Amino acid sequence: MQISDVWIRKVFTGRGDVTVEVELTVENPATGEVLTTRAAAPAGASRGLHEVAYFPEGGIDAALAAFEKLVAPEIVGLDVTEPYSVDGKLEEIDDTYRFEKIGGAVAIATSFATAEAGAASLGIPLFAFIGGAYARRLPLPLGNVIGGGKHSRGLGPDIQEFLVVPLSPPDIYTAVYANAEVHKRVLKQILKVDTSFTGGKNDEGAWTPRISSTTALKILKEVARDVGSEVGVEIGLGVDMAASSLWSGEKYIYKNEGVERSPHEQLQFVSRLIEEFDLIYVEDPFHEEDFQSFAELTEKFRDRLIVGDDLFVTNPERIREGGRARAATGVIIKPDQIGTLLRAHQAVQTARHFGMRIIVSHRSGDTEYRTLSHIAVGFGAEIIKTGIMGGERTAKLNELIRIGEYLGKWGAISRLHL
């Protein structure tokens, strides 16, 4: 099935950011069969220093021009049933590691749309096209319940995300339901400590009250315990510190708490949170260049998920550096950070080599596409980070339920044995 025509257009993410959507028409020359697929690039508010360039110099108009001039003429005629064939061509066309000529948004939207076309051409689900016949495991949903930091415009706690994840649910529906129940019930507890709270949510659907990080964790722990007891599922707690956004170059600045912490004090603070609230998941506890502090925390808590996002930015070389330093036990995989599914797959393989668990993640400015759910299953991820509420979040969770139904007795949901 060869690409016969391509389009690109401006569309919007769930946060209202302008992004690109790529549409492909593919045709079987022998039968005349024609299929059309499309995909859009998500957009993150908190982008790591080492991510690919989202747009080329000149912004989205330059990205559209680059697609029409450089990309379209080169990919028409390529066979989408050959996995990652277009991804290799995109790297050849751009010839810069950061996709500075065409932009990472163009690259990942094209990569996604091509994978969708390849799967449709073969008559198989996208996750099977990505992961093959042995892609049978569903990831655990990791949901953002209370939000702070950059995602909440500095109006909530200093820590960016307060998270929950079901540890051993019987099926994906129960896992999604448990997270949703925690999100609903947390509001009642928030209103007890912040009576002026009007129900505001951030970009990912997390509540954004004016409370401290400690208060947020106390509320989350209580509600997760109650919901878990009722549903019959143990629910673990986690945080995304997004520490690069707190880092001044010398200290970590917690503006709302009025506290400054040195790297050593940050290590002590995070360690206290892990112990006091039995956190099983800690993402980006230090800034994006501090492999040493990551390694110290990981050595201390090897039975928890110490996860790098800004530290690794889905980059195989940085993951290799972190693996050698034993800096983390988990890695965030965001394909748009690196530009193509081919590169994201290479990042997953590198992380697996060092024994890291895989967390496939959305962006704060995400799209309504279900693609990420299939990527998580195709990559065999233990966890998918999607948020809990909002159309672009539930689209992915509902798709996981459909995939679980499709797999039936042949599928299984991940378990976290920490």
- Do the annotations mark residue 334 as ligand-binding? yes
Q: Which of 90, 60, 95 has its CA nearest to residue 75?
A: 90
Rounded CA-CA distance 223/192 in Å is 13
**86: CB partners within 8 A, 6+ apart:** 3, 75, 78, 80, 110, 111, 114
230 contacts 185 by C-beta, under 8 angstroms: no
Residue 187's SS3 state is: helix
Answer yes or no: is 262 a known binding residue: no
Is the distance from CB of 138 to CB of 411 less than 8 angstroms?
Answer: yes
Supply 159's token pair: 């820590």
- State how far the Cα of 414 lies from the Cα of 401, in Å rounded to an integer: 14
Within 10 Å of residue 410's Cβ, how many Cβ atoms? 7
Question: 290 labelled as ligand-binding?
Answer: no
46 annotated ligand binder: no
77, with CB counted inside 10 A (0-12, 13-18, 19+), is exposed
Dig out the tokens for 54 from the structure. 């989202």
**Residue 385 marked ligand-binding:** yes
Q: Calculate ∠ Cα 391-395-400, nearest 5°.
A: 150
CA distance 13 to 367: 5
**Beta strands across the sheet bearing 18-27:** 2-12, 18-27, 34-40
Please indicate if the annotation marks 283 as binding a ligand: yes
Catalytic residues: 204, 334
Burial 53-75 (b: 16+ CB within 10 A, else e): bbbbeeebebbbebbeebbbeeb
Q: What angle do CA 208, 45, 177 make, to 5 degrees?
A: 50
361 is an annotated ligand-binding site residue: yes
362 among the known binding-site residues? Answer: yes
Question: Is 309 marked as binding a ligand?
Answer: yes
Binding-site residues for (2R)-2-phosphoglycerate: 160, 334, 363-364, 385
Binding-site residues: 151, 160-161, 240, 283, 309, 334, 361-364, 385
Binding-site residues for Mg(2+): 240, 283, 309
Binding-site residues for substrate: 151, 161, 283, 309, 361-364, 385
